[in-house]
């Protein structure tokens, strides 16, 4: 039995169960679902096989790729057929080293990749990637149902210009850099995911699983999506509420007892890199982040003002 047959058989067995038999998690999820908007409906062909392209780049975050892949690989249509046909794509059909030193051989390069209905863009080290990557995203996105970024894959999606004038989110540690670099994009802090037209973005890492579940729901509805989540024993309910990243909506406290880099929000152990702003010392993890802060104190001030207004 090949992997596709195994997944399909597993999906069919999972879907044989009813939502009512799935226990307390499904009941709790149903309660939350009744209080939030459902995903906008999309057309799911009975035979499924909607192509999903997973973009690979240097040091791509592993869970940004594998989390949504697990969701999309297990989703099925109402007829029990696999809903999606995932594939990987990169600049060349050569092994790509992603997070943790994992090497992945892409299924396609940009020239051979079939037109996808969905594109998944993980966080990656974009330095050294060819401009063809951005060109491919722009062109392919003209015919996608969803082009979604996960974590700081939002930076790559924003580089295409497709997010200009639209709302998006990213990992909370990238908020200041993202807002400073892409002022035409309306950054939403505290969002688990953001959807606008055929573009979507999620918060950090595990948020991509929630956005993937949200996308599945838009094709096959709530009940079948709950079964996908139950099949992978995913207890998170963020896919039911796009505003559930409230914990990251505000900046942390910056003080001498708790030195945190205001750009990436990492705790600073070496206080040698610092900048004084409005009579207060701020400490940085690197000189490059100090430079970003000094150049974009207007963004930092805006965030502080938003936080104060939200109290």
Q: pLDDT, tens digit, for every residue of 162-216? A: 999 999 999 999 999 999 999 999 999 999 999 999 999 999 999 999 999 999 9
Give the residue-averaged pLDDT of 72-98. Answer: 96
- Residue 257's contacts (CB-CB under 8 Å, 6 or more residues apart) are none
Question: What is the widest separation between alpha-carbon atoms in the chain?
Answer: 67
Q: pLDDT, tens digit, for every residue of 54-84? A: 999 999 999 999 999 999 999 999 999 999 9
Q: In this model, does residue 46 exceed pLDDT 70?
A: yes
What is the domain partition of the chain in residue ranges?
3-247, 252-310
Looking at domain 3-247, its CATH class is: alpha beta
Q: Which residue has the higher pLDDT, 109 or 28?
A: 109
Q: Which residue has the higher pLDDT, 96 or 10?
A: 96
Q: What is the mean pLDDT of the chain?
A: 90
**Kind of pairing, strands 193-196 and 199-202?**
antiparallel
Q: Could you tell me the pLDDT band of residue 40, with boundaries at 50, 70 and 90?
A: confident
Q: In this model, does residue 2 exceed pLDDT 50?
A: no
Q: Quick one: angle between helices 62-74 and 3-15, nearest 10?
A: 60
Q: pLDDT, tens digit, for every residue of 126-144? A: 998 999 999 999 999 999 9
């Amino acid at each position: 039995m090949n992997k596709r047959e195994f997944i399909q058989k597993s999906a069919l067995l999972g879907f044989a169960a009813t939502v009512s038999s799935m226990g307390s998690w499904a009941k709790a999820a149903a309660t939350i679902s009744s209080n939030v908007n459902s995903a906008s409906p999309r057309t799911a062909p009975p035979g499924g096989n909607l192509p999903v392209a997973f973009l690979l780049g240097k040091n791509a975050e592993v869970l940004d790729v594998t989390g949504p892949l697990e969701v999309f690989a297990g989703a099925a249509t109402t007829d029990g057929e696999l809903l999606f046909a995932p594939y990987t794509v990169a600049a060349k059909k050569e092994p790509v080293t992603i997070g943790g030193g994992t090497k992945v051989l892409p299924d396609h390069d940009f020239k051979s990749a079939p037109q996808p209905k969905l594109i998944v863009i993980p966080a990656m080290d974009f330095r050294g990637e060819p401009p063809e990557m951005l060109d491919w995203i722009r062109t392919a996105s003209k015919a996608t149902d969803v082009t979604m970024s996960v974590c700081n894959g939002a930076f790559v999606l924003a580089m295409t210009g497709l997010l200009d004038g639209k709302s998006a989110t990213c990992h909370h540690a990238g908020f200041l850099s993202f807002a400073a670099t892409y002022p035409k994009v309306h950054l939403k802090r505290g969002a688990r995911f953001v959807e606008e037209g055929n573009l979507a973005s999620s918060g950090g890492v595990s948020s991509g699983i929630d956005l993937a579940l949200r996308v599945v729901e838009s094709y096959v509805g709530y009940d079948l999506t709950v079964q996908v989540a139950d099949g992978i024993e995913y207890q998170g309910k963020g896919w039911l509420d796009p505003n559930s990243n409230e914990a990251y909506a505000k900046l942390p406290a910056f003080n001498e007892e708790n030195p945190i880099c205001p750009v990436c929000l990492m705790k600073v152990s070496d206080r040698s890199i610092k900048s004084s702003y409005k009579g207060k010392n701020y400490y940085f993890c690197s000189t490059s982040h100090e430079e970003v802060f000094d150049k974009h104190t207007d963004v930092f001030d805006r965030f502080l003002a938003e936080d104060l207004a939200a109290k």
